[in-house]
Amino acid sequence: MVVTSSLTPVAEPRPGSARDVRRRGRRRPLVWVALVATAVLFVYPFAWLLSASVKPGDQVFDNALFPQQMVLGNYAEIWRAAPVAAWLVNSVAVSLAAALAATVASSVVSFGFAYFRFPGRNALFGLVLATMMLPGAVTMIPVYLIWNEAGLASTQVPLWAGNLFGSAFYIFLLRQFFLGLPRELFEAARIDGASYWTLFWRIAVPLCKPAMVVTFVFELKASWSDLLKPLIYLRDPALYTLPRGLKALSDQFGQAGEQRWEIVLAGSVLTTLPMIIVFFLAQRHFVDGIATHRRTG
Amino acid sequence: MSAALPPRGARIRKWARGFRRRETLAAYAFLSPWMIGFLLFMLIPMVASFLLSLTDYDALRAPTAVGLANYRQLLEDPDVRKSLTNTLLYALMSVPSTMAVSLGLAALLARAGRRSAGLFRTLFYLPEITPKVAVGVLFLFLFNGQAGLVNEVLGLFGVQGPQWSTDGAWIKPGLVLMNLWSVGSTVVIYLAALKSVPPELYEAAELDGASRWRRFRHITVPMISGALFFTLIVQTIAALQTFDEAYTAFYGNASSAGYSSDAALFYLIYLFQQGFQFLHMGYASAMAWLLFAIIMVITLVQVRLSKRFVYYEGR
């Protein structure tokens, strides 16, 4: 929920006066020093993690940026210690399913709110917004009981299937985009005899692709990182996702366990790295999304 | 022939009504996924949760009605008090520091060139996409009392760092500091807000001789108060539901229960334990409603207070 708010449009800097530019120019070195220093602070933990994950177990805590001795064996070790390959496959499958379901369902629903005029629209939309206020903890137990009743409580289905019904924040977000499309576009197609589904699928969806990609990427990230649902639902370690698996590794090999820290560290890298790669690949779409939002909003 | 047809106006009205009905039908077809989901995963669970909170239920035997006993127990349970205090203290430390650090970083970014601002924004955002489980693991390493990086750096300045991960008094401040790593999205929001402040305001204030502090206090803060308010609410709600990092670092299997610290017992962790580890599902449901009530009250107070401070353009 917090992450998703970064969609707020980023305004172009206004052209400043000549005086303004001169003043800024003078101050810039200090700004740069501060920015570089904070950036180092933000990136260093990643470097530390990556470096420590290839150190021999007894050197994990030496805090050296470059390992004195590099052992890729930690990754072979984790392979033997836990079904990490299965966890990776599970995580990919679950988060893809969650992201796809959330994107498709939320766009269908948000188009319903954006295009149609019908009795009860505002009340229903208010209800959508109101559901964002409800902490997940309130419904956590009954929803578990429902999945349990359906015989799916120990499967991965509850981790993503809830998204098939849309998700309030994305409905809100996508509705904003759909509202930005000129109505004449749809009226013209209606006169040509297009069905409502055609309006949605052939006109609205292609024009709002960037927003849908943003929805997809954000939900992918949210689902990838989730710990609580896998803790509640997954019993069989073969079904674990990476965060749940990392928690298990940290329990088994960490402070209270065998103290084989290098395995926990390798697991942390495996859990973190895929999302970072996705983030860099999807950056263009983030920018697209923000730009589109600005044009329409 | 024309006399056989109803009057024109009525015909149009009838046609329009039919059209509207079809459109209404289509609209509800589009909304149906959400409406089914709302019923199945929101409304029914909410009612069920309330009913469960009036029972003893362990998911094995049928629930037995106990009236308000669970709610009475909430008031007496020392762990509820402990976890609530922990959670509120954490929120009280975490939310303002997150906002302050984010605003500082956003102000820096706003002063950088456009291209470098983009690069740094990306770097600041990276920790945000790191799963919180990994953040919890990193906390145990970086904030380790003996050999952690944080204390090693403090040592360079001659400061003997505390035992962040074992000393109850320092666990929450440590988690707050660790959480400051993930301020990326708040920075992005503030940056956007700062950029939308008209520079003319600053120029005018400068001509009038306003100091840098007064310009910040009387131009920047009011102009970005909408963003400040939004993040205040979102951050508070998130902080009150802290789970992943603390649970990863301090709770889990039976072997870690031995050293797990009371200082990291956050409300959602205790709720999770009650509901899914001890299978006190009725009691956990009552706990969930208490959390809901607390969140509602805090949010309403914030909204009420914000009416005095938030400036909306065009009002």
ipTM: 0.87
- Cβ distance B112 to A246 less than 8 Å, yes or no, reads no
Per CB-CB distance under 8 Å, the chain B contacts of A261 are 141
CB B219 within 8 A of CB B109: no
Kindly state the average pLDDT of the residues B166-192. 92
**Nearest CA of chain A to the CA of B26: how many Å?**
7
Whole-prediction pTM: 0.87
Mean pLDDT (whole number) for A117-134: 90
Q: Band of the pLDDT at A14, cuts 50, 70, 90?
A: very low
Considering CB atoms only, which of A32, A118, A247 is closest to B248? A247
B36-69 CB burial, b ≥16 within 10 A, e <16:
ebbeebbeebbebbeebbbbbbeeeeeeeebeee
CA–CA min distance A76, chain B (Å): 20
Over residues B289-303, mean pLDDT: 94
Mean local confidence (pLDDT), A142-160: 95
Nearest to A109 among B30, B109, B185 (CB): B30
Residue of chain A whose Cα is closest to the Cα of B140: A255
Nearest residue in B to A29, CA atom: B112
Three state DSSP letters for chain A: CCHHHHHCCCCCCCCCCHHHHHHHHHHHHHHHHHHHHHHHHHHHHHHHHHHHCCCCHHHHHHCCCCCCCCCCHHHHHHHHHCCHHHHHHHHHHHHHHHHHHHHHHHHHHHHHHHHCCCCCHHHHHHHHHHHCCCCHHHHHHHHHHHHHHCCCCCCCHHHHHHHHHCCHHHHHHHHHHHHCCCHHHHHHHHHCCCCHHHHHHHHHHHHCHHHHHHHHHHHHHHHHHCCHHHHHHCCCHHHCCHHHHHHHHHHHHCCCCCCCHHHHHHHHHHHHHHHHHHHHHHHHHHHHHHHHHHHHC
Burial of A152 (0-12, 13-18, 19+ CB in 10 A): middle
Residue of A nearest to B271 (CA): A137
List of chain B residues whose C-beta atoms are within 8 Å of the C-beta of residue A52 = 141
Q: Who among A105, A242, A254 is closest to B33 (CB)? A: A105
Q: Which of B24, B30, B171 should be substituted to probe chain A, the one whose Cβ sees the most A Cβ atoms within 10 Å?
A: B30
Q: Is the pLDDT of residue B4 over 80?
A: no
Interface size, chain A vs chain B, as Cβ–Cβ contacts under 8 Å: 303
Q: Which residue has the higher pLDDT, A239 or B20?
A: A239
Chain B partners within 8 Å of A12 (Cβ) = 195
- A123 in contact with B at a CB cutoff of 8 Å? no
Choose among A10, A16, A61: nearest Cβ to B192. Answer: A10
A35:B247 CB<8 A: no
Tell me the percentage of chain A whose pLDDT exceeds 70.
86
pLDDT of residue B260: 55
Residue of B31, B149, B186 with shortest CB distance to A109: B31
**Which chain B residues are closer than 8 Å to A124 by Cβ?**
31, 35
| pLDDT level of residue B14 (50, 70, 90 thresholds) | low
**What is the mean pLDDT of the segment spanning A95-118?**
95
Cβ distance B297 to B233 under 8 Å? no
Question: Given this model, what pLDDT does residue B19 score?
Answer: 59
Is the pLDDT confidence value at B25 over 60? yes
Higher-pLDDT residue of B102 and A117 is B102
Name the band, by pLDDT with cuts 50, 70 and 90, for residue A296.
very low
Chain A residue at shortest CA distance from B51: A142
B90 has a pLDDT exceeding 90: yes
**Lowest pLDDT segment from A191-200, A278-287, B161-170, B211-220:** A278-287
Q: What is the pLDDT of residues A35-70, one digit of tens each?
A: 999 999 999 999 999 999 999 888 888 888 888 888
| Chain segment B181-212, per-residue pLDDT in tens | 999 889 988 988 898 899 999 999 989 988 88
- What is the per-residue pLDDT across B243-275, written as a single tens digit (0 to 9) for each? 999 999 988 765 445 455 688 999 999 999 999
pLDDT at A11 over 80: no
The rounded distance, in Å, linking the Cα atoms of A142 and A133 is: 18
A133–B234 C-beta distance less than 8 A: no
Query: Quick one: pLDDT at residue A144?
Result: 96
Mean pLDDT of A229-244: 96
